Structures are given as C-alpha cells and as structure tokens.
C-alpha cells in the first residue's frame, strides 16, 4: 500500500474512533405538544477544574452524556452542561428554559441566537434577583428556538451539583408555576400555623418541649424557604445578606431546639445526667456558631472543623434520643414516646435519601427531590398527634395536682383547727399551774433549796410550754388569717415610731436568768427609732435570740446589733455555735423544720419561720449566713419608711 493511501486510511480510522467515542450532539425536538419537554437524559456535561474556561474553549472539549437527572456530587469545579434543541414545524417559536434546583449559587446560561452568536444570562441564589430574565424562584430564560439552537449552562456551587432542566411553552410554564407556588405555599402555611400554635401552648403552659418544638418547626421553615428559592424572592432588594444567613440560622436554631426538646421531653437531667451534660454541651456549641452565621466574613478553615464536630454531635444526639425514646417506651408503654420516635424517623429517612441523592447515587425525580420536604410535613402532622397526647397528659397532671392541693389544704385546715383548739385549751391549765406555783412561793418562803429549785423548774417549763402555745397560735394567724390576723396580735394592731434600744434591752431582760449574761447588746446609735409594730418585731427578735442561745454552747456569747442606713433598719443576731451547712440553711423558714444540730434540744421549729413572716409583713427581708465553723448570723432588714430619730 502506498504511503499516501495508508495516511488517508489512518485518518479515516481515527475519525471513526472519535465518532464512536464522542457522539455528535443530538437535537431535542420541540413540537406543538407536549408543552413541557424534560431534558432528563439529554444533557451532556464537562468539568472545568480551572473554573476559568471561556465558552469558546469549552465548546472544543469532550462532553459526557448524563443518563438522567443525577447529582454530580460536591465539587469546587465549574460544571458545564449543554444541549441542542430543534423546533419542528407547527411548534411555537418562544420557549422557556427552566433550571433547578433553586439553591444553586451561580448559574450562567448561554443561548444561541439565529445569527449563531450566544447571549449570556447570569443568575444564581447569591446573585441579584432583579437580574433574572424572568422573576421566578427558578432560573428561567426565555428564548426563540431555531432549527438547531444550542444551550450551554455553567454551574458553580458549594452545594451539590444537582441540575434539573425543562423546556416549557410560556403559557404552560406560567400555569405550572402558579400550581407549584400554591402547593408550596400551602406547605409553608401549615408549618407556620404549627409554629404559632406550639409557641402559644409552650408559653401559656410553661412547657419547654412545646416551645422548643415551635423553634424546630420555625427552623424547618427558614431552611426550606432557602432550598426552594423563596428567600431571594422575598428579599429581592438589598436582601442578599438575609437570604444568605437565614438558612444558616434555621440550621443552628433547629439543632438547638431539637436538643433542648429531647432533653426536657426525656427528662435526661434526672434519668441520664451524663447524656444531659452532652446535650447541653452540644447546645452551647451550636449557639457559639451563631455569630459566624450572622457574619460570614469571620468564617475560616479552622471553623469548619468545629462545624463538623457540631454536625457529628447533632447526629449522635439524635441517635441517642431515638434509642432512649424506645427504651422508655418499652419500660412505660407510653404511646406518645412511640409517636415521637415514628415522627422523627420519617424526616431521618428523607434526609438519608436527600444525602444519597446529592452524592449522585440516586436519580433525581419528583419523589427523590421533594421527599425531604414531604417528610418534614408528615413529621409535623404526626408530631401534632404526639403533642396532643402530651397536652392531654399535662391537663391530667394539672387536674391531679389541683385535687392533691385541695386535699392538702383540707388536711392543713383540719390540722390548724386542731392545733388552735389544743393551744387554746392549754392556756388555761398552764396559767393555773403558773399561778399555783407563784402562790406556793409567796406563802411558803422558807422552802428547802431543792424544793425551791423544783418550783422554779416548774415555772420555767410552764413558760417554755406557753411559748410553744403562743407560737402555734401565731402560725395559725399567719397561715389562716394573713397579715391582717397578725396585725391584730400586736398592741393595738398598728405600726408606730418605736425606740430601738429600749425594745432590745427588754428582750435581753426577758431571757432566763442563766442565759441573760450570755447576751451582749452592742452599741446602738442613741435615739434610734423606727416605724414598726414593736410587739411583733420584738417577738421576732426574741425568737432569734432564743434560737441562738439554744443551739450554741453554754459558754458562747450571742451578739445583738442594730443600725440604720439608706436601705432601712438592720437588726442582727449572731451566735458562735457550730453553724449550719448550705443545705440546712436553704431549709430555714420551713414550718416545723429542725436542723440536725437540734437533736436533744427543746424547740418546735417555728421560731425562724415566725420571725420571717413578721419581717415579711413589714416589707423587709430576713436572711441567714453561716461561715463554716463560725456560728450563725441572722439579719433582718426593715425598709426605710416612717423612721426618724427618737427624741425622749
């Protein structure tokens, strides 16, 4: 064979190989019907790793055919798509190329005109909405179809390279958009009503899970407004920042809300404290990412490590929550726990399908594209049933609590009547005993010392028992009649300007002869007077002094101080006994409560409570503090009112 013939034969063979390897660009026929032509299986694509190739350079490259609408995964490459359309006789001239998904960040479309030149249209989620040829949530470009019109698309996005494209006749496109927006608006309407309903119920019932679930549904609304392309439409003028950050806020808000909801719903603090701490760590981590969502300029590569950690913890918490819900359901057979489990498994399946589809392992169609959103709606509807069960349980618990409270009030009233009757009946015998002992002491002055001591001990015990009876009566007045009943116990039932120093000196003089020397009355400003009910405040201070003497050692001193400043009158009683721990301090003021240090000592557990109530009706405060091993200090503060220096 001659060399020239061999060369021609080689060229023909190479051209044949190229023809097989790179099939010619096929044309998609456009007819009068159907009014919509799907480009599934018709698109060819090419990856531009440089992200800088021009249309002319790309036209010389070898494209690959996409068998269907399928994601090309996550990539920093610019991905080019092309297709050629051919208008057949009888078909309309004007068509619309509609490109999705609406969350693609940059979508550039080149349309060939009849002269063979290309016209470029720049669109995308982060590009100005006003620059779109058609003002829709999709990336739509109108064009006039010819005998062989080429269309090129370039997509750049940090999301999955997931492109779906259709050709529409204008009237059909307008009708489709109207129907599509109606159904999606219905979806958002149901979701927003759920947000409002659960927010109101959560606030009114003070139920954290319901309020947190309202936040979760609100986050779904924000997220889906972004993925459906509505945020650029809603914030079309100078709203790029909002359209960018709202889906991120939705993502973070959803993570925070769902962690908070599961923590309270499953009562993790009581049942699983360690898991409770893990949940709250995740919650705080997500909250810490919020400033970066509001200010994307702060985002760096280091932050992505934290974001991945937060995503991993969110997924782990979801799995843990689902597992605990199943465990508790098996233990208690509560229907709402199984409803919660089913409700959250549905969107989990939708998320899984969406993730697999974005990675390119599933064909993108009407079901796989919208499954996550449909699963979210099904989740809210099923969760509504679970929340209804929770609401019913809350109402039952409230009714049971009211019934128990009514029974407790009834028992308390019966106890008060009994105590009041018993105390009243004690007064006469005690007074008779005291008078009888006094008569013996007066008529028989020459008793033996041992017998005189016995009579003194009898009078002391009678005085102690009388004090108990008085405290019981005061508790009855405080609890049953309120402040008005307490005021009636005072001298005349009125507040008046009272000298402080004589009142405190009288309290010291009233103590038992063996205890009085232990009480030290510190220097009090001369002439100090204050507006108060002298009988009641004196009784309150007396109870505090009695407690201090009783619960400290026989040799320990008890100090009484009084002063006035801008906050009012201060009266402080300090002992130097063993003191109290923080847990016991928190219980002070509980009727009939006695600390562990009171074992073997007389008392009713009403002294501090009595003093606290008297201070309260004066509008003041009573608080105690006890440094470890340094005794107990109790201080009452009566607010400044009708106080003035006392002038004798």
Band of pLDDT at residue 196, cut at 50, 70 and 90: very high
* pLDDT computed for residue 422 by the predictor: 62
What is the residue extent of each domain of the chain? 25-168, 491-639
Band of pLDDT at residue 478, cut at 50, 70 and 90: low
Hey, which residues does 83 pair with through a beta bridge?
151
**Per mean pLDDT, which of 18-22, 502-506, 549-553, 597-601 is the most reliable?**
502-506
pLDDT digits (tens, 9 = 90+) for 347-401: 999 889 988 988 889 998 888 888 888 999 999 999 999 988 888 888 888 888 8
Considering only CA atoms, give the Rg of the chain.
42
The closest of 534, 540, 533 to 613, measured between CA atoms, is 540
Whether pLDDT at 191 is above 80: yes
> Helix 449-476 vs helix 607-617: angle between axes, to the nearest 10 degrees?
50
pLDDT digits (tens, 9 = 90+) for 8-45: 455 445 444 434 444 557 789 999 999 999 999 999 99
Rounded distance, CA 150 to CA 118, Å? Answer: 9
Per the model's pLDDT, the better-predicted residue between 250 and 13 turns out to be: 250
Rounded distance, CA 110 to CA 309, Å? Answer: 41
* pLDDT computed for residue 238 by the predictor: 64
Q: Measure CA 520 to chain center.
A: 53
93: which residues sit within 8 A by CB, 6+ positions away?
Answer: 87, 144, 145
- What is the CATH number assigned to the segment(s) 25-168? 2.60.40.2380
**Per mean pLDDT, which of 229-238, 422-431, 601-610 is the most reliable?**
229-238
CATH class for the region spanning 491-639: alpha beta
pLDDT more than 70, % of the chain: 84
pLDDT digits (tens, 9 = 90+) for 83-103: 999 999 999 999 999 998 898
> Is residue 328 classed as helix, strand or coil in its secondary structure?
helix
pLDDT digits (tens, 9 = 90+) for 148-187: 999 999 999 888 899 999 999 999 999 999 999 999 999 9
**Per mean pLDDT, which of 195-204, 289-298, 523-532 is the most reliable?**
195-204
211: which residues sit within 8 A by CB, 6+ positions away?
Answer: 198, 199, 202, 203
* pLDDT computed for residue 410 by the predictor: 79
69, 126, 164 from 42: Cα distances, Å: 9, 28, 11
Q: Measure CA 438 to chain center.
A: 69
149, 97 in Cβ contact below 8 A?
no
Neighbours of 9 (CB within 10 A): 11
* pLDDT computed for residue 645 by the predictor: 41
Rounded distance, CA 598 to CA 263, Å? Answer: 41
pLDDT digits (tens, 9 = 90+) for 110-126: 999 988 899 999 999 88
Token pair in block for residue 581: 């721990």
* pLDDT computed for residue 309 by the predictor: 87
For the full predicted model, state whether its pTM sits above 0.85.
no
Rounded distance, CA 70 to CA 553, Å? Answer: 86
pLDDT digits (tens, 9 = 90+) for 579-594: 777 777 777 767 666 5
Round the average pLDDT of the chain to a whole number and report it: 82
């Amino acid at each position: 064979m001659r060399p020239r013939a061999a060369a021609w034969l080689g060229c023909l063979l190479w051209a044949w190989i190229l023809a097989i390897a790179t099939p010619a660009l096929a044309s998609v026929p456009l007819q009068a019907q159907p009014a919509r032509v799907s480009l599934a299986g018709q698109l060819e694509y090419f990856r531009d790793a440089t992200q800088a190739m021009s249309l002319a350079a790309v036209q010389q490259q070898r494209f690959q055919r996409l068998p269907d609408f399928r994601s090309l995964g996550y990539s920093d490459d610019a991905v080019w798509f092309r297709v050629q359309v051919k208008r057949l006789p009888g078909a309309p001239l004007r068509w619309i190329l509609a490109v999705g998904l609406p969350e693609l960040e940059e979508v550039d479309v080149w349309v060939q005109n009849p002269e063979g030149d290309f016209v470029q249209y720049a669109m995308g989620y982060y590009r100005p909405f006003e620059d779109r040829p058609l003002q829709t949530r999709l990336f739509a470009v109108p064009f006039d179809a010819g005998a062989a019109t080429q269309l090129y698309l370039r997509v750049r996005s940090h999301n999955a390279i997931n492109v779906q494209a259709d050709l529409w006749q204008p009237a059909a496109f307008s009708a489709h958009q109207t129907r599509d927006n109606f159904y999606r608006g219905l979806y958002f309407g149901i979701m927003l009503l759920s947000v409002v309903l659960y927010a109101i119920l959560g606030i009114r019932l003070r139920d954290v899970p319901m309020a947190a679930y309202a936040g979760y549904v609100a986050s779904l609304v924000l997220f889906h407004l972004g993925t459906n392309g509505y945020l650029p439409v809603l914030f079309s003028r100078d709203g790029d920042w909002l359209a960018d950050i709202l889906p991120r806020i939705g993502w973070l808000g959803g993570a925070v809300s769902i962690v908070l909801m599961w923590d309270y719903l499953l009562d993790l603090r009581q049942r699983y404290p360690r898991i409770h701490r893990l949940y709250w760590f995740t919650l705080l981590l997500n909250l810490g990412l919020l400033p970066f969502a509001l200010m994307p300029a702060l985002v760096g590569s280091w932050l992505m490590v934290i974001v991945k950690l937060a995503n991993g913890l969110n997924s782990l918490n979801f799995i843990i929550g689902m597992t605990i819900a199943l465990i508790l359901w098996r233990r208690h057979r509560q229907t709402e726990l199984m409803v919660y489990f089913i409700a959250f498994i549905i969107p989990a399946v939708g998320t899984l399908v969406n993730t697999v589809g974005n990675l390119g392992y599933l064909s993108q169609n009407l079901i796989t594209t919208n499954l996550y959103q449909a699963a979210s709606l099904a989740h809210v509807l099923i969760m509504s049933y679970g929340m209804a069960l929770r609401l019913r349980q809350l109402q039952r618990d409230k009714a049971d609590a009211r019934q128990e409270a009514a029974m407790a009030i009834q028992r308390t009233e019966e106890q008060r009547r009994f105590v009041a009757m018993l105390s009243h009946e004690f007064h006469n015998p005690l007074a008779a005993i005291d008078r009888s002992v006094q008569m013996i002491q007066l008529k028989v002055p020459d008793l033996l010392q041992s017998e005189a001591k016995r009579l003194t001990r009898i009078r002391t015990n009678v005085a102690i028992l009388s004090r108990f009876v008085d405290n019981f009566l005061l508790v009855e007045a405080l609890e049953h009649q309120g402040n008005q009943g307490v005021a009636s116990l005072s001298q005349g039932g009125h507040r008046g300007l009272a000298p402080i120093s004589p009142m405190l000196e009288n309290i010291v003089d009233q103590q038992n002869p063996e205890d009085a020397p232990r009480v030290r009355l510190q220097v009090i400003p001369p002439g100090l007077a204050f507006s108060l009910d002298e009988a009641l405040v004196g009784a309150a201070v007396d109870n505090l002094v009695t407690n201090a003497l009783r619960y400290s050692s026989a040799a320990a001193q008890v100090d009484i101080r009084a002063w006035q400043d801008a906050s009012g009158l201060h009266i402080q009683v300090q002992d130097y006994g063993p003191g109290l721990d923080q847990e016991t301090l928190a219980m002070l003021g509980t009727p009939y409560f006695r600390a562990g240090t009171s074992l073997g000592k007389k008392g009713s557990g009403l002294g501090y409570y009595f003093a606290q109530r008297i201070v309260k009706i004066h509008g003041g405060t009573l608080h105690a503090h006890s440094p470890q091993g340094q005794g107990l200090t109790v201080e009452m503060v009566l607010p400044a009112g009708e106080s003035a220096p006392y002038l004798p």
